[in-house]
Structures are given as C-alpha cells and as structure tokens.
Amino acid sequence: MTAHRVTLRSVAAGLAASLLLFCVGCATGAPAAEVPRTAPVHPVHEGDEHPPPAVVEDGRGPRALPYSPLCRRVKCIALTFDDGPGPYTAQLLDILRRENVRATFFLVGNEPVHTHPDLVRRIAREGHVVGNHTWTHPVLTGLPEAEVRDQLSRTQTVLQELTGVRPTLMRPPKGLTDARVTGVARELGLAQILWNVTATDYHNTTTELVRKLVLERALPGGVVLLHDVLPWTVPAVPDIIAGLRKAGYTLVTVSQLYENMQPGGQYPTWATPAPVPPPPAPARPQPTAS
C-alpha cells in the first residue's frame, strides 16, 4: 500500500511539473517546437570546461587541425577575448602592448563597437586580430537563416569600415553552431573559432581564480576563451602571460596558430590531439683527448 501511494504521489508530481512548464511556455510565448535543423547542434556554452567533439559535415569525424609550421615546432597558445570592446579593453590593450603579445578579439557589432569605435581601430592598429561575434550576440542556431546572415553581415560591414580589413574569423555566441550557421559562415568567408581552454570567467569572478584556471587548463595548441568586458578578468592577464611563458608557451593569435583555415570550418575540433613539440635532441658526447 505504501509503495502504491508513493507511485501515485510521483505520478501526480510529474503531471504537476509538466503542467507548470506548459503554463510558463504559454505565459512567455515560447514556441512549441524548436527551429528545424539540418544537422545536430553541439552545445558549447561559454564556460564549459570540456566541450564535446565537433562533427564535420561529411560525417567522417574531425580532421587533423592545420597548425602552422611555427606551432608544430613549439608550444603555441592563443588568447582570445569576447564581447567587447568595453570599459576595460583599453587597459587590456595597454597590458598586451607592454608584454608584446598579440591576441584575437571577437567583437559585438551593435552597442560595443558603436560605443567604442576608437578602441576597434586601436585593436587593429596594434596588430591584434579582429573577429566577428555577431551584431547583438544571439544564439544563431535559434534564428532563421536570413537573420543569421544579417547578424554576421552587418558586423562584417562595420568592422571593415573601422579597420579597413574584412574579418575572416567569427565566433558563434555560446559556441552554438549547426549546418545552417556553417553555411552562412562559409558564404561570408568566415572560419568558426571555438575554444578548448577557458577560465569560466562569467562564473568565477575573482582575478586569482581566473589566472589559476587558465594556467591549470593550458595545453599546446590551446585557444583560450576570456572576456575583456569583465572587471576581474583583465587584471589577471599579466600573470597569465607570465605563467604561460614560464611554462614554455609561445603566445600567438588564432591566425598564427592555424594555417589555411577554411570558411565555415570549425577550429579547434576538440577530438583532435593538440601538437606536442618533439623532445630536444640529446647532447652529443664531446670527444676526449687521447
């Protein structure tokens, strides 16, 4: 009898939860079904520590990543910064200039770029790579294809106007991409840049923890996701740079990390091992005098 009452209670609780979700959907106008997609979506939310492996369109799994000749010889790592420019970007640029480091910035076209056009120009002028992070930072996989194209095209236009260079890299917000997003990126000449190292700095809100997590999670061929719009992240950058250099890393831009990136392609593909530089050759024994 007791088990029977527990079962009825469980069923009733499940029905109540379903009804609550239904009512919330009605109240918020949430759609009843997801937007149809032509390929599986692999959610890689900003802050994930271990993203799932990406799947290429032909279904044969990830191909070897095209690391540059430099980054096949040495331990390379690329610092990337999302969602700016913002109130802390100038401070970050001062740090990078002082440390002689080039980074990759994925900029949001609407308010950040229009609010700080001089910073966009400075980013490009000081040798950093400018990437497209959409117009208003929506999840692209939830938009019709025409809106995906508009989000990326408008940002391409304004960034080219400000810097004189048309971006060739984009980062889909929250790392969410699918076949439609890939098709539009290919059409616009944009490679999709994801990441394989993060400090989860939207959730870990102290400078020391951001520094610690980047240095613990760094790996050869790494693409580090950080956000220059966060006040605790930018102060961590000097110690991150020092720690990476102490560990033998060469800091590069994404464009220096890879060669021959293809429009629409995803970099990195997480199932592909990062390059490990060969060990140094053993020292030759010196001949002894006879």
Question: Which residues have a catalytic role annotated?
Answer: 82, 227
239 vs 257: CA distance, rounded Å: 22
| Token pair for 144 | 């019709």
Would you say 257 and 169 are in contact if contact means Cβ atoms under 8 Å apart?
no
Q: What is the DSSP string of 81-113?
A: EES---TTHHHHHHHHHHHT---EEEE-TTHHH
| Token pair for 39 | 């390929």
Q: What is the DSSP string of the chain?
A: -HHHHHHHHHHHHHHHHHHHHHHHHHHHT--SSPPP-SS------TT-SSPPPP--TTSS-PPPP-B-HHHHHS-EEEEEEES---TTHHHHHHHHHHHT---EEEE-TTHHHHH-HHHHHHHHHTTPEEEE--SS---GGGS-HHHHHHHHHHHHHHHHHHHSS---EE--GGG---HHHHHHHHHTT-EEE--SEE--TTT--SHHHHHHHHHHH--TTEEEEEETTSTTTGGGHHHHHHHHHHTTPEEE-HHHHBSSPPTT-EE--TTSPPP-PPPPPPPPPPPPP-
| Token pair for 94 | 């001062």
162 vs 123: CA distance, rounded Å: 11
